[in-house]
Amino acid sequence: MDKLTDAQISEHMKALPNWELGEDRIKRTFRFGDFVQAFGWMSSVALVAERMNHHPEWRNVWATVEVELSTHDAGGLTELDMKLAAEMDALSES
């Protein structure tokens, strides 16, 4: 999986307005109604992540989940990060 160029990253970020672009990663904090909703969402995301073989860095505190995505194998952002971010957004809306 190839690292995305700055131009490709900019294009992807248009579809991910709730995500913040860092040096080599994208970040978003998800807020849910309570711990069970947060952990339920994490469980759904875990299945998607495992299927993609692409795994999030995340931190859960009660109803909040802080997520950072990057592709360590590529040393930066790839299509996989953008795909997982979009899946996370979609699952948080359902």
> CB of 72: closest distance to ligand H2B in angstroms?
4
82 binds ligand H2B (CB under 6 A): no
71 binds ligand H2B (CB under 6 A): yes
**What is the H or E stretch that residue 64 is in?**
strand 64-69
53 binds ligand H2B (CB under 6 A): yes
* Dihedral sign of CA atoms 90, 77, 47, 35 in order: negative
CA dist 69 and 36 (Å) reads 23
- Phi, psi of 18, rounded to the nearest 5 degrees: -90, 0
Residue 6 is given by DSSP the state: H
51 binds ligand H2B (CB under 6 A): no
| Selected binder of ligand H2B within 2, 11, 50, 73 (CB under 6 A) | 73
**Sites of contact with ligand H2B (CB under 6 A):** 53-55, 71-73
